[in-house]
Structures are given as C-alpha cells and as structure tokens.
A and B are shown apart, each in its own frame.
Chain A
Amino acid sequence: MAPRDRLTSLSNRASTPLLRAEGLSVAYGTHRVVSNVGFELGRGKGLALIGESGSGKSTIARAVLRLLPATGHASGRVEFEGQELLGLPERRFRPFRGRRIGFVPQDPGNSLNPVRAIGAQAMEAAALLDEPDTALRKALVLETFAQVGLDNPQRVYDSYPHQLSGGMLQRVLIGLAVLPRPSLLVADEPTSALDVTIQKRILDLLSKLQEELQISLLLITHDLAIAAERADSIVVLKDGTVQEAGSTATVFSAPSSSYARKLHGDVPALNPDRYRPLREPGFRHLGARREKTPKIEVAGVTKTFTVDGKVLTAVNDVSFDVQAGTTHALVGESGSGKTTAIRILLGLEQPDTGKIAVGGEQVNGRSPEQLRSVWRHLQLVYQNPFTSLDPTWNVEKTVREPLDRFKIGTHQERALAVRKAFADVGLGEHLLTRKPAALSGGQRQRVAIARSLVLKPDVIVLDEPTSALDVSVQADIVEVLLSLQAKLGLTYVFVSHDLALVRQLAHTVSVMQRGRIVEHGTVGEIFDTPRQPYTRSLLESIPSGAARFARAQPLQHRQIFSEEKIA
C-alpha cells in the first residue's frame, strides 16, 4: 500500500463509526420483525439496544453477526469499519467472525458444547490469533481466563460446561469472545439468565474489558436500568422499529417518545415509590401489628434434603410473621431456599422441625384431607404463566376448577364467581372461552391470579409472578395485585430475586442466603438502613447509574387499574 493511501485510509478510520446500520430490516419469510432500523456505534463506545420481547433487538444482533436462522433474511446496510457486511459472501465474512466481531450470548448454560471440554472450545477461539505455537495459544487462553476473573484457569480449561456455574460459564464465554481482540463485542442479554449479584459482576467485567481493550460494546438488553448504567447511547425499539435514539442522558432525562416514557415509568429500579397510595393500607395494618395476631406465623422451620449422599440444609431455622393485609417479600438468589420455604408454607413439603400457622391454624403435620381446608384460604400463583395453565382447557374451566374441586355453590354461582374474578383482574369476559395459547403472557398471569382469587382466599403466595414477563406487563400485574390487596385486604407472600420490584410493593422483607434469613425488617429498614453485608451487596446489584436520571424525572402516578386492552 502506498503511504498516501494509508494516510487516507487512516483518516477514514477516524471519521467513520465502527459499526453503522442503515435501513436495516429483517424478515422471516413474509413476516417482518425489524423495519428500517439505523444506528451508529463509535470506537470504544457502548450502544444499548433496548426493548421488550418481540421488539427485534436480538434479531438485530443476530443480523449484525450474520447468525440469523436460514429462514431469516436481512436487507439494508450494516457497515463495519466502512465495509458493508450483509452482502458479503459467507467466505469473505468469516474472517470478521470472532477476530473483529465477538459475540457474548444470552444463556451461558446452553452456549458451550456440553460434550466437549471447555479447553477444546477455547482453543477454537485461540486459533483466530495468528499464533502458530499451540503451547503459547494455550497459555493465552489461561491468561484470558484469569483476566475475566476465573480463579483456577487450568481447572476451568479441563472442565466440561456442566461442571461450572452459570456465572463462571459466562466469564468463559466473555473470555473466548475477547481473546482474539475484536474491536466490537455484541452482547445479547449477557446477564438475564444470571443471579443479581453475579449480573453486576459480569457487567462490571464487560465495562472493564471494554475500557482496557478499547472494545466497542453493542449491548442488547430488556433492562432500561442496565442500559442507563452501561451505555453511552441508547436505541429504544418496539415491534421492530426505532422509537427513540440518542445519548443515554437525553433518553433518560428527557425521553421524547411516549413508549420510552412508558418504559421509563415501568422500570421498578427507577420508580421505587410508584404505588405508594395502593400500599398505604398495608402500612397502616403493619403499624397496628401489636394489637393483632399475625396472619402467617413461621417459627424455627428447618428442612434438609439428601442429595448424592450429602445432606443439604435447604431451609435453616427460618422464622417470620406476616400481618394480615400486608405483603411480605422473601428475597434471595437461586439456591437461597426461598422456594423451599414457600413449599413448606403451602404444606407441599413437610419441615423437619418448626411450626407454621396460617390464620391461627397450624399447616404442618396435617393429613392431605386436612390440608385441603387450609388451601381454601391459601393460594399460589406460580411464576411462569406459560407452563402453569393447562393448554387444552379454556380459561373459564381453569378458573372454575377450584370451585368444582371444593364443590362450592351451584353451577350458576360458580359461573358468576368466575366472571367476578375475571373482572377483578381486569380481564374482559370475551376471553373466557379462549385457550391459554390465544392469550398474551400478561393475560395468562391474570388468569392464574383469577384462579387463585376465585376461592376468596386470605393469603396468596406469589412465586416470582412476573419474572417471565416483560417490564411493562410486569407493571400491569403488580398494579392488579396491589389494587386487589387494597380492595380485598389480601395478605401476600411474595418471592422474588428482583429487589427493585420488592421495594415497589412489599411492606416487610426477609433476605435469605443459603437457607437462612440473614436480615429481616420493614421495606424502609432493609432498603434505607441495611445492616448485613449480604443485603448491601444485593442492594448494590440494583443498577444504580440510572438513579441520577430518575430523580430528574417528576414522579408520575399511574392511573389506578387500567383495563386490559382488548386482544
């Protein structure tokens, strides 16, 4: 190359963005999922594509990586360092893969070949370095493993994927992605499958590598708070079109599109006091607690399991009380014992020791028939509405089933009760004859709540009721739950890993770690004056970079109880 040419190409390099998309559209057959999307990402910068499920954000990432399934077709332009990528034949695009564009996938548990050792797969990434010496390549792999915070690189190298935890696997995958020193890293929801504290560590790692290695980051996320914390600019997507784009500060402090404003309002981390009026009655009940016996009393409950000959204490000496009409949150990461705790509370599991009483009646040690009378007053809403409803039943039958089982009322009375429960959760009667497959995730979870309401229980146990749902749908469900509590005086036990959400709706909180309750208190005590280091680490894992933008926003109260839009 002549010196002059090199000069011009250098100046080009400085002025062109690293990645630029223009008029990018993706269609599966005739179904268009992304239309006319454009964005620019500068060198060493971070760009977040945010949106809910179906917004096309992951499809865009796959289009940039050219990893769309065979039925997907991308059109428009995607330029990398000025080079158009979409039209390149596969043979000429392959040198970009890994070497210049790295990929960090969403679910680390499925992203490494389960039957091959991690080392063998790492060496594939190392092969992209122009380094002929195998021993040196292996040394580089081990060095990278150490760099991404894996304690024992050689052990990781020799392990199979199933022998490592999700957080470790994501570190491995990030290591493999940065190993060939790409200039762009595409991270597709890199933390949504991980526990909150690990999520923060992984994001910190990505930020650190981005800075140290001068890598540009294209971050795909559904979490506005994460985007605010980690990206320089943001593209907000809905149904495959750009709703708003701009610098992070602008999109946060002055969102111009109604969708971005709504999304902003729905993110729990940004709006801790959103439901204050709805929670007031609960706080009043809590204030009067000395005069009444608690609705739920759990005292000294311990449960052990034997796995592979080892004794595992899933729940260790757990005690808590819940006042009638309040929400008690059990918070913890996976394996903390919160699910086992509610299974014991529901009588689905017998504790080894301890005592559980609901409404003054003891739950544990009952025969199955006696448990039935407890269940009339104690209902469960399961976390995943996509699997908790019978797909072959219409939802009217699903909601009516508890009445049929308990033989409550005449046929007409049951039909009326079902309609009442439907109205309570804001579902239209025209949906009664639908099967779950014809409903959205939010509608399904409303059906599940209606099913638990139909017996007129006093206590509802909510096991991560919104973790499978989008943030705007989550806001709808939370509103339904809080309105019902304000109206009917229900007592909730709310299990969640999402502290920001807990802060929005709980009255009292128990923080669980490895089967024990490490801290217990009112929502104010836990969030404003945490005493335990573990609680503090959980609180720190709530993306906080957004908080400063959030305060600039005037507090907007939602209209209480919006009817579900007609599907």
Chain B
Amino acid sequence: MSKAYFDYAAKRLLQAIVVILLSYVFTFVVVSILPGDPITNVLNNPQNGFTPNEIKEIIAAQGLDKPIPVQLWSAFSGFVTGDLGLSMRTNRPVATLIAEVLPSTLVLASAGLAVALFLAAIIAYGTQFLPRRFGQGLLRGFPSLFLSVPNFVIGLVLIHLFGFQLGVFRVIEPDSFWATLFAAIALGIPISAQIAEVLIANLDHESGQDYAAVARGRGLGQMRLFVTHLLKPSSLPVITVVALTIGELLGGSLITETVFGRNGLGSLVQRSVSTQDLPVLQAVVSLAAVVFVVVNLIADLTYPLLDPRVKLLGGQERRPTTADDSSLPISKAVTR
C-alpha cells in the first residue's frame, strides 16, 4: 500500500474524529436551547413524585444549576474520556444502560442489512438473467413497491401472518431466532429497495458500455460476461450506498423493535424522550453519529483498494471520469 493511501487514511480518520466531536457539541447545544427544561418538566412534575431532597440531589449531580457552557464543558470532557454521565431518570451510568440494550439492536441491524443485501442482489442480478418481457419487468417493479410501504406496516403484516396465523414464531418471545429473522426482514425490505435500484441502474449502465459489447465480441457468454466483467464495476458503488443507509438502518431498527416488542435502543430512546432524560438522549445521538461516521470511514477506506481508477490526490478522493484524455474523442479532450 502506498504512502498516498496512508496519508489519505490518516486525513480521513482525523476528519472522522472532528465530525464526531462536533456532532456531540451540536446535539448538546440544540437540546439546551429547545424550549422546556428538565427541571420544570420532569423533576418538578408532581406525577413523577420526586421529593424536594431528591430533586436537589439530582440537580447537583447533573450540574443543572450551572450555566450552559459549564454544563457543556463537563459533559464534553466526560464524553472525550469515555464517561457518559448518569441517567436522570434511573441515576445509573448511561454507559451501562446502553450496553444492556445495544447487543439486541446491533443483532437486528446487522441481520436487517444482511437481508437487504441478499434481497437487493437477487432482484438486481436476477434482472440480468430473466427474459426481458416477462419476469424482468416484475423484478424491476419490486424496489418501488418496497420503498412505498413503511417498515412498520411490513412488520405488522409479518407478525400477523407468520406469528399469529402460521405460528412460525411466538410473538411473546421477540428475541428468538425466527422472531429476529422476521424483524430483520421487515427492517431490510425498504433498505433493499434503495440498494437494488442503484445496482440495477449500474448493471444497466455497465452492460451498455462498449467494453461489454467488445467482450461479447470476444466470445464471452452471458454468464461469464456478468461474473467476470459486470459484477465488480456495478457492485462497487453499493459500498457507498450501504454506508449512507446506515442512518436509516438505525432509525428503522428503533421502529422495528417497537413493533416486534424487542427490548433495545428503541425502547430506551422512547423512555428517555418521554422523561427528557437528556444524558441518555445525548449519548444515543452521539452513538448514532459514531456508527455513521465509522461506517462511512470504512467505506471510504475500502473504495480505493477495490477500484484501481481511484486516484488519491492530496488526501482527496477523486474518481476520474476518464482515465486518459488522449483516449477521448477530440471533441471532449480539448475541453479541459
């Protein structure tokens, strides 16, 4: 691996860290300037039944009586050193709360992504082998269908059909294998649509390229052409698409968890929102930012390794549209 690649990787890593830190500060500031503060809304709310002493204790522990910049500084320095603070509602460390529910969400999100990739591959690659008139049109219709149905509807239909009617899984055991699988299907279907659309567009583009015709002229059959020539260039951009759908995957996970009754980040967020448990919300948002940034960092770092055309110029990634100007028709080459 070249020095250019390491320079590029170092620069991107630095950028990623800055983005994460900035997103933390941004979230904190936005939450602080929103109307309503936790003291009046939560602590002084008679429904929650805190005693005056407890309220004082919580205010002191959270430092809620201090000015916002001071609060930000103590929270931020805690975040940098790995201390996410205490939950206002339960008074337990936020890190512990998240660690309890995170594995369940990660399992669901990864399974959802796997389902999405699997479905997208079947739909997109299938269009290359089915006869044009029949079948292909059907497959090409799937992505728009998948996109137009919200995942909680898919989830409810799956629960009704496979949980209650067919009894494939027991609805009261949401963490069982089958229940997780169906939750992952509900989560993965809308995401598969986006990936499939990109894949289909790329496949259509690549198979219409001159090199595909030339390779066929060289005697390659449909299958060889697809596997050796079209698969890689059409699939590479999917890396970027997957990285961008991570946000949706996380958000979708929270909804799907609620629909399937799983105990995960979704229920934690729900409880924290209703009680304005700011430290927990701040931590979850930051966690989402970290996941998003890390996944995109991985995508950016793998792309140059897979596509020989990507040139790394001074830490900037640039996909050249054409390799060599002299290979262009003169009408294009001179426009530089």
Q: Which residues of A contact B (CB under 8 A)?
A: 62, 65, 67, 69-70, 94-95, 97-99, 101-103, 105-117, 120-121, 124-125, 128, 160-167, 169, 173, 176, 180, 192-195, 308, 334-335, 338-339, 383-384, 463-464, 467-468, 495, 497
Taking a contact as CB atoms closer than 8 A, the residue among B214, B324, B336 that contacts A103 in the complex is: B214
**Are A109 and B322 in contact, CB atoms less than 8 angstroms apart?**
yes
Docked CA distance A470–B47 (Å): 83
Chain A residues positioned under 8 Å from B323 (CB to CB): 109, 114, 160-164
**Are B217 and A166 in contact, CB atoms less than 8 angstroms apart?**
no
Q: What is the size, in residues, of chain B's interface with A at 8 Å between Cβ atoms? A: 38
**Are B210 and A105 in contact, CB atoms less than 8 angstroms apart?**
yes
Residue in A70, A338, A384 whose Cβ sees the most chain B Cβ within 10 Å:
A384
Q: Does B209 contact A (CB under 8 A)?
A: yes
Residue in B215, B309, B313, B320 whose Cβ sees the most chain A Cβ within 10 Å:
B215
B234, chain A: closest CB distance, angstroms? 10
Chain B residues positioned under 8 Å from A107 (CB to CB): 210, 327, 329
Docked CA distance A271–B113 (Å): 66
B157, chain A: closest CB distance, angstroms? 36
**Are B336 and A114 in contact, CB atoms less than 8 angstroms apart?**
no
**Are B326 and A195 in contact, CB atoms less than 8 angstroms apart?**
yes
A541, chain B: closest CB distance, angstroms? 13
Question: When A97-B218, A97-B219, A463-B334 are in contact, do A160 and B327 touch as well, CB less than 8 Å?
Answer: no
**Are B330 and A162 in contact, CB atoms less than 8 angstroms apart?**
no
Docked CA distance A65–B236 (Å): 30
**Are B132 and A70 in contact, CB atoms less than 8 angstroms apart?**
yes
**Are B214 and A128 in contact, CB atoms less than 8 angstroms apart?**
no
**Are B219 and A193 in contact, CB atoms less than 8 angstroms apart?**
no
Chain A residues positioned under 8 Å from B232 (CB to CB): 115-116
Docked CA distance A124–B225 (Å): 10
**Are B308 and A112 in contact, CB atoms less than 8 angstroms apart?**
no
Docked CA distance A107–B215 (Å): 14
Question: When A115-B309, A116-B229, A160-B309 are in contact, do A467 and B327 touch as well, CB less than 8 Å?
Answer: no
**Are A108 and B327 in contact, CB atoms less than 8 angstroms apart?**
yes
Chain A residues positioned under 8 Å from B132 (CB to CB): 70
B214, chain A: closest CB distance, angstroms? 5
Q: Does B228 contact A (CB under 8 A)?
A: yes
Chain B residues positioned under 8 Å from A169 (CB to CB): 324, 327
12 A-B pairs besides A164-B324, A173-B214, A338-B334 with CB distance below 8 A are A65-B217, A101-B217, A109-B324, A113-B229, A114-B323, A115-B232, A115-B309, A117-B308, A124-B220, A162-B308, A166-B324, A180-B219
A307, chain B: closest CB distance, angstroms? 9
Docked CA distance A120–B233 (Å): 15
Chain B residues positioned under 8 Å from A106 (CB to CB): 210
Docked CA distance A180–B334 (Å): 36
**Are B210 and A192 in contact, CB atoms less than 8 angstroms apart?**
no
A244, chain B: closest CB distance, angstroms? 28
**Are A334 and B326 in contact, CB atoms less than 8 angstroms apart?**
yes
**Are B219 and A110 in contact, CB atoms less than 8 angstroms apart?**
no
Q: Does B221 contact A (CB under 8 A)?
A: yes
Chain A residues positioned under 8 Å from B201 (CB to CB): none
B100, chain A: closest CB distance, angstroms? 44
Taking a contact as CB atoms closer than 8 A, the residue among B209, B215, B313, B327 that contacts A166 in the complex is: B327
Determine the residue in chain A with the shortest Cβ distance to B332. A384
Q: Does B213 contact A (CB under 8 A)?
A: yes
Chain B residues positioned under 8 Å from A495 (CB to CB): 334
